[in-house]
Structure 1
C-alpha cells in the first residue's frame, strides 16, 4: 500500500497562485506517462533489505515550486517502493520549515528514513553525528552520470565535513536576477545593473508604489532572505574571520550594507511586507506584476511560461550584481540524506532510492518542472538547461562555479547555524522594523553571532 501525505506549512499563498494541478505544455500532470520502472537490476543486498524491512519507508521531500515537480518526484518514489514491494510514505515539507521539523523529529525520535535538506542544515546535522555517511553511493552515482560538476563536488567533499560525504546532491538553488525589461526600457534603462548601487538606482526609477516596487527583495526569515548574507559579503562584510572562529559582523562594511538596504526599504523601493514574506513572497510579487526586480531560482520562469507568457516576454535574466568589495553568488546545494537513526535495512534502501532518483530518464522530466540547477554532468544536455534562458543561466553557474557556499567566509558548522537561524535578515529587521541604527543592529548581531560560534570553537 502506498501512503500519500502532503505537508505544506506556509505555502497557502503559493497554492493559490500555482495550482496543484498546474498544466504543462503537454497538458499537465494528468497527461504525463506513469513514472518509469527501474531500468537497472536490483542488487541482491537491496532485495534482501526490502524483504527484511519492517514498517513503512518514509521520505521527506523538499517542497519546490511549481507543484508539478513535487508530484513527479512523489510518483517516482512511490514507483520505486512498488517495484521493491515495500510500503512508502512521501511527505512534502516546505523547505523554509525543514530545520524546525527536523529539530522536533530529533527530539521526539520520529525522524524519517531519508529526507531532503539544504547545505547548511546537512552540515550542522553531520557535525552532530545525525547523518549516515554516503561515500560509496556518491562515487557510484557520479561515475554513472559523467561525474559531478566541479563546484558541487568541491562543496560536497570539502574537509570541513569531517572526511566523509553525508549527502547526495539532487540540485542547487542558484540566484538569477529577474528583471522587468519593459519597465526598465520605459525609463531609458537598457543594460542590466552591474553593481548593487546600479541596481538600487534602477529599482528606484521603476518604483510606482503601491502598484510596483522596484526591488522585490525578501527581508524575512526564509531561505530567500538569506540572500542578504551574500549581499552583505559583497559589500565587504563578513560573518567571521578567516579562521572561522571569531565573528566580525560589527564592521564599517556591514554598517554600509545595512544603510544601503534600509535606505531602499525606507524609500519604498522594497515592499513594506517583505519583512514577513513566506518562501513564495518574492515569487508572488513578481508574478503579480508588483516587483520590478527579484532574485530567485528557475521556478518563477516556469510559472510565467505556463501561466503568463506575456510577462515572460517582458522579462530578462542575469547574474547577481557586484558589491563594492566583490561579487558573491552562492551555490546552495540540496542534498538527499539518511539519518543515522535509520536502521541498516533502511539505509540500504535509501541509497538505492537515491540512485534511482539520479537516473537521467527521470531527472530530465523532473528538472523541467522543478526549480534546481544541474549537479551531474549528464544533466547538461537536458532541454530545460539548453533551451530556456533562465535555466541556461543555472547551467552556467554549475559550470563556472558561482561562488562556493559561505564564500568569502569559512564554510563550517557555525556558519551554517548562523544561516539556519536567519541571522542576517533578523539584523535587517532590527533596523527597518524596530528602529535600531545600523551601528546598534550590527553590534547586537555580533554578540548573537559569537554565541553561535562559541558553541563550535574548541
Structure 2
C-alpha cells in the first residue's frame, strides 16, 4: 500500500532549514554564481504552462539563468523524457506525471529534494513544503518515503456546466449523482443536435485515466484488488464500466475521439451541457476568445456514485534530472522552487495556472473570482492518489486499458470481455515485474 509521507514532510522541511523570516533577495543571491547557466525542460500546451511562460522573464531577469523549454503533446512527453534520460540527453528538469513518479524515481532519473534542501545557499528560507496540499505533495512528488518533485500543474476533476442550458431544461442546479446525470439530466439535455455530457475518451492516457478510471472509483470498483490481481470483473467495477456505456447515448457521436481540447471546446461552444474536466481548464472556459459561455459557466464537484464522491486526481511535479551537471542541477532547483512558491502563487493563478499551495486559496478575492477554487479545494481534502496506480508498471498497463477501454466504448468487445482481457494482460505484466513473488513493493 501507499506509504504516508507526513514524516517526510517534517524531515524535508527541517533539512531545508526553513525560517519564518523571508529574505526578498534570496533568489538573486543564490543565483549569482549560476548566472549564464542554461536549463531545459518540457512543457505542455495547457494553461498552467502558458502561465509560467508568461512569468518567466521575471525569473530570468532576477537570476541570469536561461530557461529553455519545448512544448510537447502530453501523449509524447513520457516517451520523449525517457529517451532523453536513457541517452544522457540535455534535459535538466523532469516533468513528472503522478503515474510516472515510481518509474522515474526507481530508475534514478530524478534527484530527491533532500539533496538540495541540505544546502541553505540554494534553498528558499520560506520553501515550506508543509504549505503544499499534503495530497498533492504525496501523489505527485513523493516515492519510497522521499520527496522528489514539487507540485506544479495541479488538477482536480470537476463538473463544469452551462447553467443557462440547465435552467432552460428546468434544472436549478447540477446533478448531485452520476445516476441523476444519466437518468434525469441526460434525456432532457440531449436534443436538437446538442448533448448532455462529454467524457473525453481518446485512446491513450485520456482513455485509460480520464475516461475508464473515472467510472471505477465512484461505483466502488478499482483496477486491482488488495492482492494486486485484476478487480475489473467485480460487480462494482462492472457496474461503473456499464454505466459509461449507457451514458454514451447522451454524448456526441465520435466521443471516443475526444481529447481534452475537444471536450472543453464542446462545452465552450454550447454543444454539450456538462463535462467532467480538470480544474486547469477553467481559464480556457472563461476566456472570451475561446468560449461563448460567459456568465453561464458554473462549476461543481464531480457527481457522487454509490461509493461516494471520489473525484479524479491528476497533476505533475517538477523534479531535478540526475543527468544534469552540478551547476544545472542547482539552477534547475532554483527555478522549481520559484515556479511552485507561495511568492508567485497569486501571479501564477491570475495568469491561468493552478497552484498547489494552500495559502493562496484562503484569499477572499481569489475564492470570489475563480469559481473552481472551492470545489477543487474540497476535493483535495479527501482524494485517492491511487486513482491511477503510481507504480512503474503503469505506462505498460495504461496502453492495455486504453486499447480495450476504447474497444468497449466502440462496441467491439463487451464490458465483461474487455475487462477480462485487460485483467489477463495486466496480471502478466505484474507477474513479469515481480509483483507476485515479493520482489516489488506494491504501492508506495
TM exceeding 0.5: yes
TM (norm. structure 1) is: 0.78
Aligned runs of 1:187-266 on 2, under 5 Å?
Answer: 187-201=169-183, 202-208=185-191, 211-221=193-203, 223-225=205-207, 226-228=209-211, 229-243=213-227, 245-265=228-248
Corresponding position of 1:16? none
Which of residues 123, 132, 135 in structure 2 aligns to 1:151? 135
Which of residues 289, 293, 302 in structure 1 aligns to 2:274? 293
Farther-moved stretch of structure 1 (88-97 vs 286-295): 88-97
With over 3 angstroms needed to count, the CA separation of the structure-2 counterparts of 1:127 and 1:162, relative to structure 1, is same
Corresponding position of 2:395? 417
With over 3 angstroms needed to count, the CA separation of the structure-2 counterparts of 1:285 and 1:348, relative to structure 1, is same
Corresponding position of 1:273? 254
Q: Secondary structure at the match of 1:367?
A: helix
Contact persistence 1:175–1:297 (CA under 8 A): yes
Q: 2:363 and 2:73 mapped to 1: Cα distance?
A: 29
Q: Secondary structure at the match of 2:167?
A: helix
Q: 1:325 and 1:360 mapped to 2: Cα distance?
A: 35
Pair 1:343 & 2:329 matched: no
Count of aligned pairs between the two proteins: 404
TM superposition shift of 1:163: 2.6
Contact persistence 1:169–1:333 (CA under 8 A): yes
List runs of 5+ in structure 1 lacking aligned partners.
Answer: 1-37
List runs of 5+ in structure 2 lacking aligned partners.
Answer: 1-22, 440-444
Q: Secondary structure at the match of 2:41?
A: strand
**Deviations along 1:150-193, whole A, 9 cap, x unmatched?**
323443576xx123211011241111101222222333233422
TM superposition shift of 1:218: 1.0
Q: Secondary structure at the match of 2:340?
A: coil
Q: 1:135 and 1:316 mapped to 2: Cα distance?
A: 41
Q: 1:230 and 1:43 mapped to 2: Cα distance?
A: 44
TM superposition shift of 1:217: 0.5
Contact persistence 1:330–1:405 (CA under 8 A): no
* Cα RMSD for the two superposed structures: 3.0
Q: 1:336 and 1:435 mapped to 2: Cα distance?
A: 39
Q: 1:142 and 1:199 mapped to 2: Cα distance?
A: 48
TM (norm. structure 2) is: 0.80
Farther-moved stretch of structure 1 (379-388 vs 127-136): 379-388
Corresponding position of 1:428? 405
Q: Secondary structure at the match of 1:176?
A: strand
With over 3 angstroms needed to count, the CA separation of the structure-2 counterparts of 1:437 and 1:298, relative to structure 1, is closer
Q: Secondary structure at the match of 2:405?
A: helix
Contact persistence 2:286–2:297 (CA under 8 A): no
Pair 1:41 & 2:65 matched: no
With over 3 angstroms needed to count, the CA separation of the structure-2 counterparts of 1:165 and 1:448, relative to structure 1, is same
Aligned runs of 1:131-170 on 2, under 5 Å?
Answer: 131-135=110-114, 143-144=126-127, 147-155=131-139, 161-170=143-152
